[in-house]
């Protein structure tokens, strides 16, 4: 095997060694390919775990906001640019004694006292052309029992915000403070 002559291996031995070398090269290439696939799978697994964690955080965050809206004593309303109701939180719905599906699309100003309606509508019209929060307003609103309650409102134009596409009205019953 360690013969120093040029013809130490016969042709069959050389052919066998070359075949062995090709096999080793193929094995190494296959091993490298497997390692790359494993690395790719690990990367995909990490990405999926990260995505799952992000989705869980999103669900938690949505639940948190839903609870804030559901448990708020203040009213949170969203009106489209024609003053039609597109959202009302549970407190507002309890106040008027209706389900959301029953009041979607109504002109919310129909519930405002006739003496306050023009001022409320004018404030909405001004707000529609501005992105700054409107100054607070004081309006009387009819309850489901026909009683008039005093409300202080703050409104924000989010018509251009694709997530909202409406005017957000936050309203607080101030009847006890006024009387």
Task: Please classify residue 127 by burial: count the beta carbons closer than 10 Å to its beta carbon, then call 0-12 exposed, 13-18 middle and 19+ buried.
Answer: buried
The 10s digit of each residue's pLDDT in 141-173 is: 988 888 999 999 999 999 999 999 999 999 999
Beta bridge partners of 141: 112, 149
Per-residue pLDDT reduced to its tens digit, 12-35? 887 888 888 888 888 888 888 889
In angstroms, the CA 77 to CA 135 distance is 16
CA distance 131 to 69: 23
Containing H/E element for 154? strand 148-158
Q: 45-98 pLDDT, tens per residue?
A: 999 999 999 999 999 999 998 888 788 889 999 999 999 999 999 988 888 888
Q: State the pTM of this model.
A: 0.68
Predicted pLDDT at 61: 92
Which phi and psi angles does 114 have, rounded to 5°? -55, -35
Q: Side-chain half-sphere of 109: how many Cα atoms within 13 Å? A: 17
What's the pLDDT score for residue 3? 60
């Amino acid at each position: 095997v360690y013969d120093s002559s040029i013809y130490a291996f016969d042709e069959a031995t050389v052919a066998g060694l070359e075949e062995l070398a090709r096999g080793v090269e193929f094995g190494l290439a296959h091993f490298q390919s497997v390692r790359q696939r494993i690395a790719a799978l690990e990367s995909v697994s990490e990405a999926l775990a990260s995505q799952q964690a992000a989705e869980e955080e999103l669900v938690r965050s949505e639940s948190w906001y839903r609870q804030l809206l559901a448990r708020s004593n203040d009213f949170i309303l969203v009106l489209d640019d024609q003053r039609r109701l597109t959202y009302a939180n549970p407190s507002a719905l309890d106040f008027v004694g209706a389900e959301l599906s029953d009041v979607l699309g109504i002109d919310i100003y129909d519930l405002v006292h006739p003496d306050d309606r023009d001022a409320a509508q004018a404030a909405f019209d001004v707000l529609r052309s501005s992105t700054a929060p409107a100054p607070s307003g004081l309006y009387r609103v009819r309850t489901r029992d026909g009683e008039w309650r005093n409300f202080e409102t703050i409104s924000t134009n989010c018509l251009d915000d694709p997530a909202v596409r409406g005017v957000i009205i936050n309203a607080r019953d101030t009847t006890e403070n006024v009387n």
